[in-house]
Structure 1
Amino acid sequence: MPKRRRPQAGQTVFNFRLQGEQELEDAFSRRLLPVKINATSPDAPPGARGVFGAVTGVAFSRTQFQGGFTLIPELPHDAILFCLPTKGHLTFHDKKKSLQATPDTALAASFMAASSIDVSRNHAHCALVINRPLLIARISLLLGRAAISELTFDPRMPTRNEPVAALRSLLFFITAQRFSSELNRAMLTATRVHEMLVDFILERWPNTYSTALSQPPPVITPRHVKLAVDFIRDHPQLVSSGTELAALTGVSLRSLQDGFRRFIGSSITGYQRQVRLERAHADLLHDSHLSVQDIAMRWGFTNASRFSRYFREAYGVSPTRLSKRRPAPAPENIRT
């Protein structure tokens, strides 16, 4: 069983006060993702004050904004935003729809799909941002098998619902001055806060794994299934047949197929595809020297339209759109 990962001694909690578009841009870019801030009105420059904290892939805040503005992400960020307004509203826009968070409605939305976020004048909220890979890793650990289905959360929840009210109380508590200042000195406590926030979201905010997480603890995955899973993850570029994997693990094809369905929750082919999509997703985010087609071919997707469809189903964004938001390649040295 994987060891529980502790947050490093990089937890940080601090009070802040920001004024103007540039200070807001700098703060967001340092702590979350590079953004562009555009003020809604020149007569009301944007600003913000409050408390911000971060512990290894989990960021939380309680913020009072001044003025109104539009936030435009400049790079993709594979994280989920949970926004619980106490005043005003926040509108999250992606290519297909717009979602609004108000004092009556809390919001869950993926930064990966964000095209812009409108923050109303004098808006206030508690917010939680959790990196999606961290959530997937926790789900895999809790289920005892790889989490290969797309993770999505119900986009809206009434703030009168008990989970939202409890989450708001929790965020108020950990951003209170007497407690938040201690998190910078208490690594073990920060570790528990980190785990508590992740587990609370997975358990209490409805998502595609809610049913699976509510089931009894899983039985131990058989050795032959683990061997096949390890081989697939270690050699994702090889599209091995089920018969080849069965021979490798020393069982019949039927036994291996049954094992994947029971313990992995997917067919052998489906799991191979998901692993290859994960690698393609990482390349699209970080390898700016390769085209989308080159990356697809690298991971065994010979049909471009089928690759695009699979990718959109898994990540909610097309590979072409994602590739346009990655950093440009560094210029090569020019010899004179």
Structure 2
Amino acid sequence: MIPAPIPINGDREHLSLIIDQSGVVRLLSAMLEQPVSGSIDLALEFDLCLEAGLAFSRLTKILATGLNDDASLLQSPAALSSLSTGLIHLLLENVPHRFSGALARQPTLPSPRHIRRAIDFMQANLSQSISISDIAQASQVGIRSLQEGFKRFKGMSPMAYLANLRLEAVHRDLIMANSATTVATIAQKWGFTHQGRFSGDYRKSYGCLPSQTLRSGHSSDPDGR
């Protein structure tokens, strides 16, 4: 995140703020407690006259001063990181984007530690065959406590949450696949062996068939494949 003064028409100057997309994706993934892929599609305008916009503007000026004028933030990486994270939070929570609805549905309380442990285990073993017992053991609670925790904080069972993570991985691979790759190959890679059921679940989540996503990815190939 690099704020820099850019002179425009003589004495006038504007403050530009460059935000690394990977940082936005990492923070959004942490806020949603699930991987994020594809374009975030942030709206192109942020009203700086509204309360959130004013806060964003003030923080940006503080960041610019601390990096350019008095350079105080260069001596305090922790403060610099906190200010940068705060600016990204303001953007994600106040500027419409593709994941705004998902953020709004997030519980106000953070997930308990055992839920986070379970999700970390799922993400580390997405392509492996894992059971509810494996997840419960990794989260260090019993199966019943795990199921109740997921129902309360995620609105679904642990295995349904795992299936959603795997669908997201399939979706990402379909977009990035080359023309020689098949839907079945990608689906099997992420543990989907029943093609009919997989296609139905994918369509419910993404509004199209997996084969359509695969063709869409090919159509954007710069070589026309």
Fold-level similarity (TM above 0.5): yes
For 1:10-25, what aligned pairs fall within 5 Å after superposition?
Answer: 12-14=2-4
Distance 1:192 1:267 in 2: 34
Q: Which residue matches 2:56?
A: 167
Going from structure 1 to structure 2, the CA distance change for 1:167 and 1:53 (only over 3 Å counts) comes to: closer
Deviations 1:77-96 (A, max 9, x none): xxxxxxxxxxxxxxxxxxxx
SS at structure 2 position matched to 1:131: helix
Q: Which residue matches 2:113?
A: 221
Q: Which residue matches 1:279?
A: 169
8 A contact 1:284–1:326 mirrored in 2:
no
Q: 2:90 aligns with which of 178, 183, 200?
A: 200
| 2:26 maps to 1:136 | no
| 2:189 maps to 1:298 | yes
Q: Which residue matches 1:54?
A: 18
The structure whose residues are more often strand, as a share, is 1
8 A contact 1:15–1:50 mirrored in 2:
yes
TM-score (norm 2): 0.59
Unaligned runs of 5+ in 1: 1-10, 18-48, 59-129, 141-145, 329-336
Q: Which residue matches 2:68?
A: 181
SS at structure 1 position matched to 2:113: coil
Q: Which residue matches 1:312?
A: 206
Deviations 1:194-217 (A, max 9, x none): 11212223454573324646x3x4
Going from structure 1 to structure 2, the CA distance change for 1:134 and 1:162 (only over 3 Å counts) comes to: same
Distance 1:249 1:296 in 2: 26
Distance 1:191 1:307 in 2: 39
Note the C-alpha offset of 1:162.
2.2
Identity %: 22
Aligned residues: 200
TM-score (norm 1): 0.43
| 2:126 maps to 1:236 | yes
Distance 2:150 2:112 in 1: 13
Distance 1:250 1:158 in 2: 46
Unaligned runs of 5+ in 2: 8-12
Deviations 1:34-67 (A, max 9, x none): xxxxxxxxxxxxxxx9554435437xxxxxxxxx
Q: Which amino acid in 2 is paired with 1:57?
A: Q
The structure whose residues are more often helix, as a share, is 2
Q: Which residue matches 1:255?
A: 145
For the aligned residue pairs, the C-alpha RMSD in angstroms reads: 4.7
Q: Which amino acid in 2 is paired with 1:161?
A: L
Note the C-alpha offset of 1:272.
1.0
Note the C-alpha offset of 1:255.
3.3
| 2:152 maps to 1:268 | no
